[in-house]
Structure 1
Amino acid sequence: MSADQNLTLAQSLARFAVQTRFDDLPEGVVESVKSRVLDILGICAAASALDTSRAVRQWVESQGGVAQASAVGVAGPLPAAQAAFVNGVLAHSLDYDDTHLPSVLHPSASVIPAVLAAAEASGASGKDAIRAIAIGLEVCVRIGMAGYNTETKNSTFFEHGQHATSICGAMGAAAAVAALAGTEADVCNALGIAASMASGIIESNRTGGTVKRMHCGWAAHSAVTAVELVRVGLTGPPTVLEGRFGFFEAWLHGEFDATAITAGLGAEWSIEGIFFKPYPANHFTHAAVDAAAALRRAGIVPADIASVTLGVPLPTLRTIGQPIEVKRRPETGYMAQFSGPYAIAAGLLGGGGLEVGLDDYTDELARDADRRALMDKVDVVADDRCSAIFPSQFPAVVTARLNDGSTVVEEVLVNRGGPGNPLSFDQLTRKFRDNARRVMSEGAMDSLERTCRTLQDTTSVQLLFADLIAVDPLLSAALADATHSRLDD
């Protein structure tokens, strides 16, 4: 689709959303979307036992409303916007959801919950959902890239303390939900309304708090709500993005790249390049896990180590290395997910999943005396070579000085899960099962995996939730198995 100079940015995105058909999607995009649905639903299942997940379920169940859509771990159906909220919170709560570089966005955690809730409520097919998700992910990424500063090689959203994931996620998800059955005017108005709902700040990355887990849920909720408001007659400004008092002025002080939104729109897709996460932690820490795991495979144990220097890109230092006294003393598993020193400890000691898994980020392990002793030996510093590569990758250089006087250096310059070192479908399935097994039976996991694999042939996305709506994190494994057996019957 060539850019029309007479259209505003929102109108251009709306035209792209409405004119794009399922058959226009490249095969790789379709396969990538299906894998991301499986990935997100597995994360939602694993996150359903968190205190914050129980809190948001309690909140939505207290709201009432007309039953329309399902949410993971909720006993009964919910209004679509509230189902999107619950699943969006769960999707982002483990910091296990995918990442786009260099925008540093987590697009799927907002877009997929919003689309699945709206698609279920409207009776949309698997093809409809795949198409809408692809549109939403593309819009989210392009708006995020409009705020990427090529000179500083960093997101301007991030520099302002803004959570681009939730801010851009609300916009991408709104375009996606509106595209399910809307006109160009509907999509444009949905973007105009969602822009007044988009929000999120990231101070909790530095000093704690669980509010970040809410961000993608609120973005998904905002998207569904915006489309519902369009249907009853509300409208948004057509210049909502580039206008004098629009989205980019409000968030980025007017500093944005419009061509990042329009160039190649409809012909060039970003989706296959979005990085899957192999580890349940902030993406900035992943290369540190890999480097420390390489030390472990080389036979180095914590007792051998005198000190460790973790070199990272300068822009990531604030998130995973500062304040260093906090990063060396995470009080919870959640805080450990944002700690460079903890990533070294986790990788060096080894764990589950694809190298380390959810069981390696518990509150108990975050406070473990042996891990803290190892974290005390870790300094996190800016590394010039890593800074030069960032944000196309989140590299790390680990220098371990051993008690025998020798030094070992491990460099990880390309992240696992991205185009340069992709995860296979089998690895993604293993990640899904490692997540979902906590609350789902083998039969239920098999069923959900088959549905995702053939999603384009599914007449209703409700089939995705046939087992997930029965998830109760408080049930024993045996009782959960029995529950799913009854549903399978």
Structure 2
Amino acid sequence: MTESERTLSQQLAAFAVDAATHGVPAEVVTSVGQRTLDVLGLCVAAHRLPTSAAAIGHVLDQGGHEQATIIGEPTRVTAAQAAFANGVLAHSLDYDDTHLPSVLHPSASVVPAALAAAEHAGASGELTVRAIAVGLEVAVRLGMAGYDSELGNSVFFEHGQHATSITGAMGSAVAAAVVYGLDEQGITDVLGLTASMASGVIEANRTGGTVKRLHCGLAAQAGVTAAQLVRRGFTGPPTVLEGRFGFFQAWLHGQFFPEAVTDGLGTEWSVPGIFFKPYPANHFTHTTVDAGRALRERGLTPEQVAEVVVGVAGSTVRTIGEPIEVKRAPETGYQAQFSGPYAFAAGLFGGGGLGTGLDDYSDELAQDPARRALMAKVSVVAHEVCDEIYPFQFPAVVTVTTTSGEVLVEEVLANRGGPARPLTDDELATKFRDNVAGRVGDDVAAQVSDDVLALHLAPDLASVLRPLSTITHQGESQ
């Protein structure tokens, strides 16, 4: 069969088997190690949330064979349930990585799925790294197939769909299939099954609710489950992506770009260019945080602010600026993570971590009178310059009028953590240490960091994950 005769799923399956067999580029191996460490740190940190306790409690109630590790939980569970729990943990703080311009968060589902399946299968660290790389690439390419360059936005997003969990399920499935040793036909079938399990609605970004925290867990669980079912004989349609009643028709009403799936497949890797998050909040808010920090460094204080106009890409206003009365007065730290006014306040007041940290998005600070007073002065509007750049970056142009009548402008046109403003190895290490601080000892943190960054050399996953099976639980909540 020639390449032109293969369906999209068959081409992705051939790519996955080739990468699993022959390896991936060195820069991809390095990037996968960094992203795995990032995800594990997020899983530890997310134990502060009551939703995390709820998800883990739900899993433990199911019982089952001890196949894989939930981060922070000594009781092992089935691989699919571990993937679910760790996927929930990884995405719950909105601190996980982002691919642009597809605007999806691939690692929070793919990494948990791959780790759970690999631990269950007894796969080597080398194969696990290759599986994660392939899963991330598949998720990103399917996300990009829904990116309309003329529209300047993801068609998934325009339809109210969460591409993160939809394409994340597909990437998770391929990653799990690789560590379970499925061949091209098996991986094609896995994609065929998972397309019936992938889902996600994004309304919670606008008006609240914690359901979004489940999305990457459900995606990871779907991927592992699909791979296991194919091992037992289930099959899927080879045309599941482009077919008349397939994935792209169902989600995008047939408006998709197949070349994004196949062009450069196996030679051009998206993985190293995925953006790390320096701040634990919706990625659309990050440059507004940076603008607030920059104005603080210029000497501006909250008391000097009379009015603030946060200019962003028009497509992001509905997420971080609407309804404005909600965004100016978030009731919880979680709502604050999706608030443009809060992002400016967080930057101007200053915080921990790499500029703002986890403790800067608490319920208490969301309701702090001083921050509320500042947020009441902030408007979020579409800005022409930002529209020209989005969604390759999430820029912000912030204009402040002071009480003395002075007008200050701060432009942040590229996101920190991406290729234009990369985080250093020390900054990534700082983020990991900040995420696990108080929950694991410094020696354990150092050991895990070393082991995960060298994951491709590990004989198996159990020894790498074991130090994170028990953590100290603290009484914080969001």
Mark yes or no: TM-score above 0.5. yes
The CA distance in 2 between the partners of 1:396 and 1:270, in whole Å, is 25
- Contact 1:101 1:275 (8 Å CA) reproduced: yes
What's the counterpart of residue 361 of structure 2? 361
The CA distance in 2 between the partners of 1:298 and 1:396, in whole Å, is 17
- Contact 2:46 2:89 (8 Å CA) reproduced: yes
What's the counterpart of residue 446 of structure 1? 446
The structural deviation recorded for 1:437 is: 1.0
The Cα offsets for residues 281-333 of structure 1, whole Å up to 9 and x where unpaired, read as: 00000000000100000110001110000000000000000000000010100
What's the counterpart of residue 375 of structure 2? 375
**1:89-108 correspondence to structure 2 within 5 Å:** 89-108=88-107
What's the counterpart of residue 461 of structure 1? 461
One-letter amino acid of the counterpart of residue 27, structure 1: A
Answer yes or no: is 1:38 the counterpart of 2:33: no
What's the counterpart of residue 202 of structure 1? 202
Answer yes or no: is 1:13 the counterpart of 2:15: no
* DSSP 3-state at the match of 2:300: coil
The CA distance in 2 between the partners of 1:156 and 1:274, in whole Å, is 20
What's the counterpart of residue 136 of structure 2? 137
Pair 203,305 (structure 1): closer, same or farther in 2 beyond 3 Å = same
What's the counterpart of residue 481 of structure 1? none
The structural deviation recorded for 1:23 is: 4.9
What's the counterpart of residue 479 of structure 1? none
The structural deviation recorded for 1:42 is: 0.3
Q: Which moved more, 1:438-447 or 1:316-325?
A: 438-447
The CA distance in 1 between the partners of 2:319 and 2:297, in whole Å, is 27
The CA distance in 2 between the partners of 1:22 and 1:408, in whole Å, is 56
The CA distance in 1 between the partners of 2:293 and 2:248, in whole Å, is 41
One-letter amino acid of the counterpart of residue 203, structure 1: E
One-letter amino acid of the counterpart of residue 27, structure 2: G
The CA distance in 2 between the partners of 1:438 and 1:296, in whole Å, is 29
- Contact 1:38 1:449 (8 Å CA) reproduced: yes
* DSSP 3-state at the match of 1:307: strand
- Contact 1:46 1:438 (8 Å CA) reproduced: no
What's the counterpart of residue 337 of structure 2? 337
Structure 1 length-normalised TM: 0.96
**1:79-478 correspondence to structure 2 within 5 Å:** 79-180=78-179, 181-474=181-474
Q: Which moved more, 1:285-294 or 1:434-443?
A: 434-443
The CA distance in 1 between the partners of 2:151 and 2:457, in whole Å, is 45
One-letter amino acid of the counterpart of residue 116, structure 1: L
The structural deviation recorded for 1:450 is: 0.9
The structural deviation recorded for 1:363 is: 0.4
The CA distance in 2 between the partners of 1:473 and 1:162, in whole Å, is 34
One-letter amino acid of the counterpart of residue 419, structure 2: P
* DSSP 3-state at the match of 2:70: coil
Structure 2 length-normalised TM: 0.98
What's the counterpart of residue 59 of structure 2? 60
The CA distance in 2 between the partners of 1:112 and 1:22, in whole Å, is 19
The CA distance in 1 between the partners of 2:463 and 2:474, in whole Å, is 23
The structural deviation recorded for 1:49 is: 2.2
What's the counterpart of residue 482 of structure 1? none
* DSSP 3-state at the match of 1:466: helix
* DSSP 3-state at the match of 1:109: helix
The CA distance in 2 between the partners of 1:247 and 1:430, in whole Å, is 40
- Contact 1:451 1:463 (8 Å CA) reproduced: no
The structural deviation recorded for 1:122 is: 0.7
* DSSP 3-state at the match of 1:419: coil
The CA distance in 2 between the partners of 1:365 and 1:62, in whole Å, is 34
Pair 324,374 (structure 1): closer, same or farther in 2 beyond 3 Å = same
The CA distance in 2 between the partners of 1:59 and 1:72, in whole Å, is 15
The CA distance in 2 between the partners of 1:183 and 1:206, in whole Å, is 42
One-letter amino acid of the counterpart of residue 298, structure 2: A
The CA distance in 2 between the partners of 1:382 and 1:454, in whole Å, is 44
The 4+ residue runs of structure 1 with deviation greater than 3 A are 21-24
One-letter amino acid of the counterpart of residue 86, structure 1: A
* DSSP 3-state at the match of 2:53: helix
Uncovered stretches (5+) of structure 2, i.e. residues with no partner: none
The CA distance in 2 between the partners of 1:219 and 1:49, in whole Å, is 22
One-letter amino acid of the counterpart of residue 61, structure 1: L
* DSSP 3-state at the match of 2:331: coil
The CA distance in 2 between the partners of 1:83 and 1:133, in whole Å, is 16
The CA distance in 2 between the partners of 1:367 and 1:273, in whole Å, is 36
* DSSP 3-state at the match of 1:467: helix
The CA distance in 1 between the partners of 2:54 and 2:257, in whole Å, is 39
The CA distance in 1 between the partners of 2:310 and 2:29, in whole Å, is 38
The CA distance in 1 between the partners of 2:227 and 2:473, in whole Å, is 32
* DSSP 3-state at the match of 1:218: helix
- Contact 2:20 2:178 (8 Å CA) reproduced: no
The CA distance in 2 between the partners of 1:206 and 1:312, in whole Å, is 16
The CA distance in 2 between the partners of 1:39 and 1:23, in whole Å, is 26
- Contact 2:23 2:130 (8 Å CA) reproduced: no
The structural deviation recorded for 1:67 is: 1.0
**1:70-85 correspondence to structure 2 within 5 Å:** 70-85=69-84
* DSSP 3-state at the match of 2:311: strand
Computed over aligned residues only, the root mean square deviation of the Cα atoms, in angstroms, reads: 1.2
The structural deviation recorded for 1:143 is: 0.2
The CA distance in 1 between the partners of 2:89 and 2:431, in whole Å, is 16
Uncovered stretches (5+) of structure 1, i.e. residues with no partner: 477-489
One-letter amino acid of the counterpart of residue 122, structure 1: A
* DSSP 3-state at the match of 2:32: helix
